[in-house]
Structure 1
Amino acid sequence: MPLPVVAGVDGSPESLAAAQWAAREAERRDRPLRLVHAPDPHALPYGGRSTAAARHRLAARPLRAAEERVRAAVPDVPLTAEQVAGPAAAALLTAAGPAELLVLGSRGLTGPAGFLVGSVALGVVARATRPVVLVRAEEQPEDEHLPADDGGASTGCREVVLGLDVQDPCDEVIEFAFEAALARRARLRVVHAWRPPSALGLGPGEVALVDDPFRADEWQGFVSAVLQVWRDKYPDVEVRQTVVREKATTALVRAASGAGLLVVGRRIADRPALARTGPVTHAVIHHVACPVAVVPHR
């Protein structure tokens, strides 16, 4: 049985956008879609038998709203919806275990913290062993497509952007980006940002390396070398590589401004207590407007 695309929903606008994005992704990947909701017991009325039905109705609303949104947008995708027990982050991590990927809603820095936002979403991203995609409430189906020259509808998809560290390239992250571009028939833009070494860390006679005019060409060569095997494996994916001298966060936020998807990696910690997103991934999650895929790797 193919692994499902899982979307965590809570009834918020961003989680509904995430469910709709997940449905389109499931259709692209020819996968079933599974909607999950972990009810917050603190948000539900307590009491005896008279409140049991009310609690059940309130808990069912987010799933019903998400299912209606999905059915209207992607009617043919195989769909299941269920409540899952436990604290939100733990329940979502459990649901993501046997999944192709997990899709969550995100408000970035612009909204208050809440379920599937803030600490919950960041906690899931930091500990998930499967790819997690974060989607903003403003995300619309047409945002995935390039604007047509004549102002009409366009069938071409916006490019997928991959943040690549050539000093520590990871197959899982690169493959996810190529597969995403292939599924969309979109161009893949690979971005590598580099910074010159500090003069304080150089030895005598090496200070000139700080402004070495050939440094950018060297990085271009490194990126080309890393990507060559992937270009051969995915000949139908158009690849553009960008090497810039600036902070990685700045480069990725700029590159993602017109993209349909940004793909970044996250190293899995050997000890769960040390799990974190990493500074670059943490920054782009909060500042990039397009969907962000965070792919865990060793």
Structure 2
Amino acid sequence: MSRPVTVGVDGSPGGVAAAEWAARESALRGVPLRIVYAEQRPGAATIRHSNPEARRRWAEELLTEAVEAVRQEHPSLEIETRHLSGEPAEVLAHEAAEAALLVLGSRGLGGVRGFLLGSVGMATISVTERPVVLVRAPGRLDAPNRAALAAPSRAVVVGVDLDRFFGPLLDFAFGEAAVRGEQVLALHGWSIPPVVRDASALVRAEREMGPDIARRLTEGLRPWRQKFPSVDLVERPCVGGPAQLLLHAAEGADLVVVGRRVRRGSLGTHIGSVTHAVIHHCAAPVAVIAHE
């Protein structure tokens, strides 16, 4: 049986945007959509004031509204709903284990460029090794982002760190591009040695180092170019910080793919500075892929 695309909803605009994105993804993949509402159990201080029947009715209405909204664009899509109880991050991570990917919404910050992932979203990412896609709720955007969203580039953007294993990120990015009929934009940000101080030395260093870095990027991407011959691949090694390069390239992109390291020891999960910046400041949907 095909793994479904699972989306968590909570009644927020971000949840609605996530459900719509997840429905499109389900249709593209030809798999069912599973809509989940995770209800946190009332604590000891609040349980006497809680009304289980009212909470149940509200959850059922929420799920019904989500299904009805999705049905408008995807009338033939197979949809399942689940109303579950427990810590939301743990419930969603458990559901993600059965899914092709998990989709969550993010809260906008109004006029500030950027958005909050929220504690549930961050905790869920930390405890699941399945791909998690974060979708920003519609809201007020600055002029550059409005223009970008109005004219999507039809690209899947992925950051490549040549010093670490990036296979899972590329597997996901190329797979998404293949089902969407889009190109992959593979970015690698690199830095000039700090000893270079004047402009002429900077240009010389970039001229000397650039070809070798471009060659390494091409060689690293060769297996995916061969595995996905129908996907148009654009390689872009650039001088600059990876986070800023990704955020710039993401304007108008359909999807941005970043990674997080899985740690088996007592230190727990690791969400690096680049991924942290992208998931909190990118207007495009962001896929977070766990890797060793």
Q: Please classify the TM superposition score into its range, dividing by the shorter chain length.
A: 0.7 to 0.9
Q: Distance in 2 between matches of 1:295 and 1:121?
A: 14
Residues 234-275 of structure 1, C-alpha deviations (whole Å, 9 max, x = no match): 110001111111100010000001201001111111136521
More displaced 10-residue stretch of structure 1: 52-61 or 244-253:
52-61
TM-score, normalised relative to structure 1: 0.84
Give 1:79 shift: 0.6
Q: Please give the per-residue CA displacement for 1:180-208, whole angstroms capped at 9, x wherever unaligned.
A: 101110111110000123339xxxxxx99
8 A contact 2:117–2:279 mirrored in 1 = no
Counterpart-to-counterpart distance in 2, 1:208 and 1:145: 35
Give the CA deviation at 1:59.
Answer: 2.3
Deviations 1:98-148 (A, max 9, x none): 11000000126559xxxx941111111122110000001129xxx99984x
Q: How far apart, CA to CA, are the structure 2 residues paired with 1:132 and 1:16?
A: 16
Secondary structure of 2:98 counterpart: coil
Matched, 1:192 2:184: no
Give the one of 220, 229, 234 matched to 2:214: 220
Map 1:111-190 onto structure 2 (within 5 A): 117-138=117-138, 147=151, 158-190=154-186
CA distance in 1, matches of 2:169, 2:94: 22
- Report the RMSD for the aligned CA atoms in angstroms: 2.9
Structure 2: unaligned runs, 5 residues or longer: 140-146
In the alignment of these two chains, the number of paired residues is 276
Q: Which has the higher strand share?
A: 2
Normalising by structure 2, we get a TM-score of 0.86
Structure 1 gap ranges (5+) = 148-155, 201-206
Between the aligned partners of 2:205 and 2:108, the Cα distance in structure 1 is 36
Q: Which residue of 1 aligns with 2:88?
A: 88
Alignment of 1:1-298 (within 5 A): 1-41=1-41, 51-107=51-107, 117-138=117-138, 147=151, 158-199=154-195, 211-271=205-265, 273-298=267-292
Query: Percent of pairs identical after alignment?
Result: 39
Task: Verify the 8 A CA contact 2:108 2:137 in the aligned structure 1.
Answer: no
Work out whether residues 148 and 251 of structure 2, in 8 Å CA contact, stay in contact via their aligned partners in 1: no
SS at match of 2:171: helix
Moved more, 120-129 or 176-185: 120-129
Match of 1:262, SS state, is strand
User: Distance in 2 between the 1:232 and 1:161 partners?
Assistant: 19
Distance 1:256 1:208, change over 3 A: closer
Contact 1:108 1:287 in 2 (8 A): no
CA distance in 2, matches of 1:145, 1:253: 13
Change (3 A) 1:246 1:108: farther
Instruction: Output one character per residue of 1:73-108: Cα deviation in whole Å (capped at 9) or x when no partner.
Output: 212211100111211111111111111000000126
| Displacement after TM superposition at 1:211 (Å) | 2.8
| 1:250–1:117 Cα change, 3 Å | closer
Q: Partner of 1:271: helix, strand, or coil?
A: coil
Greater shift in the superposed pair: 33-42 or 184-193 = 33-42
Q: Is the alpha carbon distance of 1:9 and 1:208 closer, same or farther for their aligned partners in structure 2, counting shifts above 3 Å? A: closer
Letter matched to residue 288 of structure 1: C
